């Protein structure tokens, strides 16, 4: 039978329509929006993120499938890896997106024809180039060490040079909002210079991420009166305002929004396109991805995986917990009508409703989980009450089944009397031996199990006691269940419970396992970390074998 680790349900009632936040504002003609993704450049500057050339190509293809309009591929003047990316991406046909090279205005010591950065931008051979320049007088005098007049020359010369070479130029006004608040006349002069030289877009950048939404609104409205080309917004998240600032800017009439998938970026990150785009389409009724919004969660997970980051399960819209319900009152209501606790239909962003298993869930939530495994019981059935009591008792001991629903299914089947164990433990022993201060310790595990009438006694070594125990258990069982060769341990987490007891504290071990088609979580709790690990490992094997018996 098919197994589920979370309940995914068709909505019982449609979510009520949400009034447009613009409905009370004066009507105005709304320009088509442009979604500009800078995951491969600004996102790659995030701590712990390092994309290979192959990674960047794969992410670019996925962004194209999502339907973004522009993909900022990198800074070809800054590193060889980005040069190689632009060489390869030219050979790959994209259906929707335009790839853009990014770089800075010329150096004061170089003419445009001899500036290495501008030459690298041209060599990248993209039809569009995004060029950034200094807007804040502080950066001009303190960072570049040049006069304000010279900076205007750099901007004008650089934009005009690229434009004369047949390139479409977008101008990033770096630190624009800080610059405007310090010296508004000069900040406006920098973008006027870029437009006069041929820039087709001016992007207002909140580079330090310190501007508030009400400031964004006021300044954007002023700039739109002063600038004759369409504007964009590029917000950083240092005050946790990047999404709000981007939406406010768009509400004032700005047409291009820049950001990254999952909001990854330097310091606190960039504006999160995984929040901006659904807010635009579902809340502000502004089309952004041309009917591809349902792919958003898939792309979010893809970028997380390629970037080798831990998923943020609490991320709005695309996180695994975004539409997960744990409280009994919530579950009871949402199973009747999803709109009671879900602000949008999760399917619209490629997500799903989940009912979590915990001692908060109550009968409604528990019955819903039981039904997901193909078992029909009435709310008053004695087994339901028994299972609720068992669940509460286990969680009081420290068990957590939200991330270990493989263990929950086994617990449920045991309570229903429908589970026959695949094996019986007769005993295990784990030895860790270290002979020299600078030598690596040796871990060895011995396991004795009974399968039917056969007894198997097996030993194995491993890179640590957990690895050794895992190897010994598999070795003893694979001759009876060869399908266990498909199983891999994907993640292993240990949490200390009631740490006030020091080294006598209980620990909870959460294991994620997977095979060629499925992933599942299991849990163990004990004062002994090896015993807790055994419980989770044994449950992992039992869960794999549920559909094979």
Q: What is the pLDDT of residue 19?
A: 42
pLDDT tens-place string over residues 277-310: 999 999 999 999 978 999 999 899 889 878 878 7
3 state DSSP class of 424: strand
Contact of 366 with 386, CB cutoff 8 Å: no
Strands (E) located in 275-331: 324-325
Task: Give how far Cα 11 sits from Cα of 155, 337, 355, Å.
Answer: 54, 7, 13
Q: What is the pLDDT of residue 27?
A: 43
Q: Which residue has the tokens 């105005």?
A: 28
Strands (E) located in 463-528: 488-497, 506-514, 519-526
Q: How does DSSP assign 340-362, residue by residue? A: GT-SS-GGGGT---EE--STTSH
Q: What CA–CA distance (Å, rounded) separates 207 from 159? A: 20
Domain boundaries, the chain: 39-287+296-306, 324-396, 424-548
Tell me which fold the domain 424-548 belongs to.
Double Stranded RNA Binding Domain (3.30.160)
Global pTM reads 0.71
Looking at the DSSP assignment, which residues form a beta bridge with residue 446? 429, 459
Q: What CA–CA distance (Å, rounded) separates 424 from 428? A: 12
Task: Give how far Cα 181 sits from Cα of 136, 140, 187, Å.
Answer: 9, 15, 9
pLDDT tens-place string over residues 509-533: 988 888 888 888 899 999 999 999 9
Q: What is the pLDDT of residue 494?
A: 87
Asked whether the predicted pLDDT for residue 549 surpasses 70, the reply is no
List Cβ neighbours of 393 (8 Å cut-off, separation of 6 or more). none
Q: What CA–CA distance (Å, rounded) separates 105 from 135? A: 12
Q: What CA–CA distance (Å, rounded) separates 287 from 364? A: 38
**Which H helix or E strand runs over 128?**
strand 128-134
Q: Strands 34-37 and 256-259: what pairing?
A: parallel
List Cβ neighbours of 26 (8 Å cut-off, separation of 6 or more). none
Q: In what order do the strands lie in the sheet with 506-514?
A: 488-497, 506-514, 519-526
Asked whether the predicted pLDDT for residue 395 surpasses 80, the reply is no
Contact of 108 with 146, CB cutoff 8 Å: yes
Residue 384's pLDDT band (cuts 50, 70, 90): confident
Q: What is the pLDDT of residue 380?
A: 74
pLDDT tens-place string over residues 2-17: 443 344 443 444 455 4
pLDDT tens-place string over residues 316-369: 999 988 998 887 788 778 888 889 999 999 999 999 887 766 545 556 566 666
Helices 362-372, 328-336: crossing angle, 10 deg rounding: 60
Instruction: Share the mean pLDDT of the chain.
Output: 88
Q: What CA–CA distance (Å, rounded) separates 118 from 106? A: 7
Asked whether the predicted pLDDT for residue 25 surpasses 60, the reply is no
Which residue has better confidence, 328 or 254? 254
pLDDT tens-place string over residues 397-418: 888 776 677 888 888 888 777 7
Give the residue-averaged pLDDT of 120-125: 97
C-alpha 165 chain-centroid distance: 38
Give the residue-averaged pLDDT of 192-197: 98
Query: What CATH number has the domain spanning 39-287+296-306?
Result: 3.20.20.70
Q: What CA–CA distance (Å, rounded) separates 155 from 106? A: 8
Asked whether the predicted pLDDT for residue 189 surpasses 90, the reply is yes
Q: What CA–CA distance (Å, rounded) separates 235 from 224? A: 17
């Amino acid at each position: 039978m098919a197994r589920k680790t979370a309940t995914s349900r068709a909505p019982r009632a449609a979510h009520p329509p949400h009034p447009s936040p613009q409905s009370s504002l004066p009507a105005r003609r709304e320009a088509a929006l442009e979604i500009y993704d800078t995951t491969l450049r600004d996102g790659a500057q995030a701590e712990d993120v390092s994309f290979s050339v192959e990674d960047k190509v794969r992410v670019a293809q996925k962004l194209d499938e999502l339907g973004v309009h522009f993909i900022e591929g990198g800074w070809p003047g800054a590193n060889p890896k980005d040069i190689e990316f632009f060489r390869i991406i030219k050979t790959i046909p994209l259906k929707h997106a335009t790839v853009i090279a990014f770089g800075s205005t010329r150096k004061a010591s170089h003419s445009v024809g001899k500036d290495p950065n501008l030459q690298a931008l041209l060599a990248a051979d993209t039809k569009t180039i995004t060029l950034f320049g200094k807007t804040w007088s502080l950066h001009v005098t303190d960072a570049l060490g040049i006069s304000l007049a010279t900076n205007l020359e750099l901007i004008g010369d650089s934009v005009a040079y690229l434009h004369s070479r047949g390139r479409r130029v977008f101008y990033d006004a770096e630190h624009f909002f800080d610059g405007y608040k310090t010296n508004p006349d000069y900040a406006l002069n920098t973008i006027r210079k870029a437009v006069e030289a041929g820039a087709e877009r001016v992007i207002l950048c909140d580079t330090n991420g310190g501007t508030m939404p009400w400031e964004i609104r006021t300044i954007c409205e002023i700039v739109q009166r002063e600038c004759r080309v369409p504007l964009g917004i590029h917000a950083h998240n240092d005050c946790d305002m990047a999404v709000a600032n981007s939406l406010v800017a768009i509400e004032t009439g700005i047409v291009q929004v820049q950001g990254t998938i999952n909001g990854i970026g330097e310091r606190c990150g960039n504006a999160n396109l995984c929040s901006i785009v659904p807010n635009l389409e579902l809340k502000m009724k502004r089309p952004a991805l041309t009917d591809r919004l349902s792919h958003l969660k898939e792309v979010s997970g893809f970028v997380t995986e390629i970037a080798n980051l831990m998923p943020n399960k609490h991320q709005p819209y695309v996180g695994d917990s975004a539409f997960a319900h744990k409280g009994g009152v919530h579950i009871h209501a949402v199973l009747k009508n999803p709109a009671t606790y879900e602000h949008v239909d999760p399917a619209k962003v490629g997500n799903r409703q989940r009912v979590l298993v915990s001692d908060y869930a109550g009968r409604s939530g528990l019955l819903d989980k039981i039904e997901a495994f193909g078992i029909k019981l009435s709310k008053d059935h004695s087994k339901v009450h028994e299972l609720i009591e068992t669940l509460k008792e286990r969680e009081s001991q420290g068990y957590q089944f939200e991330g270990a629903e493989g263990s929950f299914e086994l617990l449920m089947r045991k309570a229903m009397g429908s589970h026959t164990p695949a094996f019986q433990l007769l005993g295990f022993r784990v030895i860790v031996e270290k002979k020299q201060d600078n030598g690596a310790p040796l871990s060895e595990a011995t396991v004795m199990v009974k399968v039917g009438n056969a007894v198997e006694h097996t030993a194995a070594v491993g890179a640590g006691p957990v690895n050794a125990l895992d190897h010994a258990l598999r070795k003893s069982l694979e001759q009876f269940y060869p399908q266990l060769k498909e199983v891999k341990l994907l993640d292993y987490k240990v949490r200390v419970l009631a740490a006030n007891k020091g080294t006598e504290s209980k620990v909870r071990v959460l294991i994620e396992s997977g095979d060629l088609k499925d992933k599942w979580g299991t849990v163990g709790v004990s004062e002994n970390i090896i015993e807790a690990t055994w419980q989770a490992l044994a449950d992992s094997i039992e869960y794999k074998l549920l559909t094979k018996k």
